[in-house]
Amino acid sequence: MKYALLLMGRTQDPDCGEDGGADPTEFMAFDKEINEAGVVVGGFALEGPELGVRVSGSGGESLVTSGPFAESNEFVGGSYVIEVADIDEAIAWAKKSPAAKAGHIEIRPVADY
């Protein structure tokens, strides 16, 4: 089964971002471990939410808003898409990630369309 591990942070959290959180070498070690295990089938890392743009609809018109988005405290910093036997194995991988220390990881089954 495929699961997305969404690496989540909070914009107001001093332990998240460039000035806090896990040491980048911890992320590099985790990335190496999970890739060498052969369970990663996709993923991405994102730049900070201040560089994002949101497109939304209002009254039939598209509205474009530049980040950061004050009403959104949480952001996705990146993800892994993994293929493992079950949710328990996905949870085990999430627990190993340094992202689980400063932020949190949301695990979602990937829909098979």
Measure Cα distances from 19 to 12, 13, 61 in Å.
12, 10, 39
Q: Tokens in use for 41? A: 């089938």
pLDDT of 72 over the 80 cut: no
pLDDT beyond 80 at 39: yes
Token pair in block for residue 44: 């991405």
pLDDT tens for 78-101 read 999 999 999 999 999 999 998 888
Q: What percent of the chain has pLDDT over 70?
A: 85
**Distances, alpha carbon 95 to alpha carbons 21, 78, 113, in Å:** 15, 16, 28
pLDDT at 10 exceeding the cut of 90: no
Higher pLDDT, 61 or 17: 61
Domains delineated in the chain = 1-56+63-107 (3.30.70.1060)
67 pLDDT band (50/70/90 cuts)?
confident
Structure tokens at 51: 């560089």
